[in-house]
Structure 1
Amino acid sequence: MNEQSNERSTRKRGRMWLVIALVVVVLLVAQGIWSRHSAHAELERDAGEHSVQTVEIIKPTRMKPTQDLVLAGDIRAFSDAPIFARTNGYLKRWTADIGTKVRKGQLLAEIDAPEINDQLRQARADAQTARANYLLAKTTADRWVQMAKNNSVSRQETDEKTGDMLAKEAAFNASQANVSRLEQMVSFQKIYAPFDGVVTARNTDVGQLIDAGSAGIGRELFHIQDATTLRVFVDVPQAYARLVTPGLPAELILNEERNRKFEGVTVRTAGAVDPVARTMRVEVGVKNPSGELLAGAYAQVRFHLTNASASYTLPGNALLFRPDGVHAASVDANNRVKLLPITLGTDYGTRVSIAAGLSGDERVIVNPPDSIVDGAAVRIGRANATPGASQPKQGGEAS
């Protein structure tokens, strides 16, 4: 009896250990399956998160309606003339040197040309001879005309005398014209100032041989400038050509006097853009009664431009250039990409004005990849008003 009880106890313990072993095995298998499922779910979650691209966004910056445009200017005198001789000879004397202020009609120099004087005397003598011949021929022709009325002479002889008188008259007129020409040549021996101004160059001296002619032929004797009013020439880029019009105020700034500004006004524009440089020539007038500004100097000209249709600006790295045009990639309320077609305006270097296509409320992606498509899901990483791009100098300077 005792043996049967022991055997039953042994069997029960064996079955219990077997059940415990089976439970442990089942728990181990369940734990392995659960850990693999958790790892797979986490892997899928990470893959899903990494499949959504993280982007940075900015807001378009609205431009101010006014801005300053600073350009290089070339200062020139209002009147500028090189003085050349009109007759040959030797310089007898000069009366004005560099820096001399002269008035219109003031004597600058005198040339000694005895050959011209001799030619004038000869021409006057020839004119007197021609005049005497003409008067004699005229008297003879008048007499023959009177005699022809009485049929005292033939008509043929009368016509010959009349023709001789007309020929002598033409010779007399030619001699008078020659005298007038030589008188003008003699008058050219004295050189006068053509307008009020300052002598900026004297390239001759007493005793030097003077050759008549202009630039490239003769020597420039003097150079005169009238700098009481200055012409400042500026080449305005095509983007601003329509904004610079006659009457627009301008400021002249010298590098050596940055704290001083000289007022000017736009006098005229070329009205056309240079097809090579893509700029328009503009002339600015500046009053210079005291002579503080020097002709030929370099200066900067500032225009205060006003644009009624103020637009927005974006950095250059926010633009997408596609075959169908330029786009800006924006993010909508559902964090989906929306490609906006835009029209570019003025290029300020780091930023570009947008003429059309933006309302100002868009969230524009900075550095969008070329593969970005409309409707793609994105995640916003960081918002930055000016991501690595400086603002254009609106209301400041655009040069």
Structure 2
Amino acid sequence: MATSRNLVAVAGGCVLALYVGYIVVEKVHAASALADETNASAIPDVSVLQPKKSPTKVALTLPGTIDAWYQAPIYPQVSGYVKMWYKDYGAHVKAGDVLAEINAPALDAQYAQAKADLASQQAKANLAVVTANRWRAMGRSQSVSGQSVSVSLANEQSAQAEVEAAKRNVEHFEALEKFKTIVAPFDGVVTNRAISVGDYVNSGGGNLNAMGSASELFTVADTHKLRLFISVPEVFSYVLAPDLTGEVTVPQYPDRKFSAQFLTTAQGFDPNTRTAIAEFVMDNSKQEIWPGTFASVALKANNDHSQLYELPSSSLVFEEKGMTVATVDQNSRVHYKPVVVGRMADTATEIQGGIDGSDRVIDNPPADLLEGDKVNVVTPQRGYNESGYGNQ
């Protein structure tokens, strides 16, 4: 009986020992795995790429605004009420076509007064001529003094001068009378009509609304050719050459491409935007594109820096001492190299010095990455870097 109890006790002790040993081994294994995982996590994963040469052609797409070749807002030169308008929105007009007529009774009265003043001055001048001739005749017979003859001649000259002034005044009102008829200044399209019959218009000030502000009566645009304006960033101003051609896309025709030829540039940069206004010319003989249209303009030109290397802008590291890039050597150690930066675009930057084609540059380096740190070079997931640079 005692022997059976001893065997049970020994068996129980063995089982307990095996259980304790199993627990110890599991803890040791878990601690080892945790240490391995911690050590592995301490080495960051990075994606690297090699610098490539800048392309021989530079291409950029910029927003632009299309305007008419000529565009004239038309204001009245006389005050009065709109008698009738004859051309509406979209009307094609020729130079001299009547757009509207203005009823100006006050001007008509002033014109009549000017003509009456001219007739009065002409009558006075005629009398002055007759009187002067008589005084000349009497002066030759020595029957009057020379002073009296001189006064008569001066009166004659004064009367003639007043006649000339009255004529100029009549001509002034004749010119204003012509402005009662609003005409098109050139061949084009009426893009705006801001008057109605009975509206009061103010001389030189357009149609007066309830707030007292003025606007043009009509706007006529010549759209057989168009002007395209774009703002070119300073770093790309070198593309503005006489033979530059732009490929234009407009919202109305998303599947079509139009051509625009470079015309001129402002030759000065806006200090707020660091851009220069460039003007292009577009043919619009079919009147397909309207002035005021938004345009997307694709420009292509020879790249005079094609011998330089290019990196994605995300690989640049801004430091107090200047611009650097993080490179990886053959031992997977990090080394920061200072670089000289050239033109900077949205996604790519030219590098004028500091690297060569054999360097492995880290794209998007971690902020806490230090000189000499060890890294694990990995291949990123598809779509992580679609800039065209080869991952190594």
Does 1:207 find its partner at 2:198? yes
Whether the 8 Å contact between 2:73 and 2:216 is mirrored in structure 1 is yes
Between the aligned partners of 1:300 and 1:81, the Cα distance in structure 2 is 26
Kindly indicate whether residue 74 of structure 2 is the aligned counterpart of residue 83 of structure 1.
Answer: yes
RMSD of the TM alignment (CA)?
3.3
What is the 5 A alignment of 1:300-339? 300-310=296-306, 311-331=308-328, 339=336
Give 2:303's aligned amino acid. N
Contact 1:246 1:269 in 2 (8 A): no
Alpha-carbon distance in structure 1 between the residues aligned to 2:355 and 2:382: 17
Which digits, 9 at most, give the CA deviation of each residue in 1:139-162, with x for residues without a partner?
433554565466443232233223
Q: In structure 2, do the counterparts of structure 1 residues 285 and 178 end up closer, same or farther at CA, with 3 Å as the change threshold? A: same
Paired with 2:268 and 2:382, the residues of 1 have a C-alpha distance of 37
- The 1-side partners of 2:199 and 2:347 are apart by 61
**Are the aligned partners of 2:54 and 2:305 in contact in 1 as well (CA < 8 Å)?**
no
Q: Given that residues 65 and 306 in structure 1 are in contact (C-alpha distance below 8 angstroms), is that contact kept between their aligned partners in structure 2?
A: yes
Secondary structure (helix, strand or coil) at the match of 1:207 reads coil
Name 1:68's counterpart in structure 2: 59
Partners in 2 of 1:219 and 1:369 — Cα distance? 58
- Among 271, 274, 279, the residue aligned to 1:275: 271
CA distance in 2 between partners of 1:315 and 1:83 (Å): 52
Amino acid at match of 1:315: P
| Matched residue type, 2:128 | A
CA shift in 2, pair 1:131/1:357, >3 Å: farther
How far, CA to CA, are the matches of 2:190 and 2:171 in structure 1?
Answer: 31
Q: Which residue of 2 aligns with 1:356?
A: 353
Could you say if the C-alpha distance between residues 175 and 371 of structure 1 is closer, same or farther in structure 2, counting changes exceeding 3 Å? same
Per-residue CA deviations over 1:192-227 (Å, capped at 9, x if unaligned) read 110101112223233333332235754532221111
Q: Distance in 2 between matches of 1:53 and 1:209?
A: 77
Q: Does 1:183 align with 2:174?
A: yes
Q: In the TM superposition, what is the alpha-carbon distance from 1:357 to its structure 2 partner?
A: 3.2
Looking at structure 2, the residues matched to 253 and 55 of structure 1 have their Cα atoms a distance apart, in angstroms, of: 40
Separation in 1 of the partners of 2:109 and 2:41? 105
Stretches of structure 2 lacking an aligned partner (at least 5 in a row): 1-39
Q: How does 1:1-399 map to 2 (within 5 A)?
A: 57-145=48-136, 147-148=138-139, 151-214=142-205, 218-310=214-306, 311-331=308-328, 339-366=336-363, 367=365, 372-373=370-371, 376=372, 381-382=377-378, 388-391=384-387
Mean alpha-carbon deviation: is it higher for 206-215 or for 256-265? 206-215
Judged with a 3 Å threshold, the aligned counterparts in structure 2 of structure 1 residues 113 and 271 are, in CA distance, closer, same or farther, namely same
| Cα deviation 1:116-172 (Å, max 9, x = unaligned) | 223222211211221222233244335545654664432322332232223222211
Mapped to 1, the partners of 2:214 and 2:135 lie a distance apart of 55
CA distance in 2, matches of 1:386, 1:348: 24
**Residues in 2 aligned to 1:146 and 1:386: alpha-carbon distance in whole angstroms:** 115
Q: How many pairs does the alignment contain? A: 344
Provide closer, same or farther for how the CA distance between residues 312 and 145 of structure 1 changes in structure 2, counting only shifts above 3 A: farther
C-alpha displacement of 1:74:
1.1
Tell which deviates more after alignment, 306-315 or 149-158: 149-158
Contact 2:228 2:260 in 1 (8 A): no
Q: Distance in 1 between matches of 2:376 and 2:101?
A: 85
Verify the 8 A CA contact 1:318 1:368 in the aligned structure 2.
Answer: no
> Which range moves more in the overlay, 334-343 or 65-74?
334-343
Q: Unaligned stretches of 5+ in structure 1?
A: 1-48, 394-399
Q: Distance in 2 between matches of 1:168 and 1:392?
A: 89
Contact 2:192 2:220 in 1 (8 A): yes
Q: State the TM-score, normalizing by the size of structure 2.
A: 0.76
Structure-1 separation of matches of 2:148 and 2:110 = 38
Residue 274 (structure 1) shift: 0.5
Contact 2:332 2:377 in 1 (8 A): no
Measure, in 1, the Cα distance between the counterparts of 2:121 and 2:131. Answer: 15
Contact 2:235–2:343 under 8 Å retained in 1? yes
Question: In terms of Rg, which structure is larger?
Answer: 1
The 1:87/1:365 distance shift into structure 2, 3 A limit, reads closer
How far apart are the structure 2 equivalents of 1:384 and 1:355? 28
Quote the Cα distance in structure 1 between the aligned partners of 2:108 and 2:180.
10
Deviation at 1:343, TM superposition (A): 1.9
Cα distance in 1 for partners of 2:251, 2:101 equals 42
Q: 1:223 to 1:241 in 2, by over 3 A?
A: same
User: 2:247 aligns to what SS in structure 1?
Assistant: strand
Distance 1:109 1:64 in 2: 58
- Label 1:115 to 1:348 Cα distance change in 2 as closer, same or farther (>3 A): closer
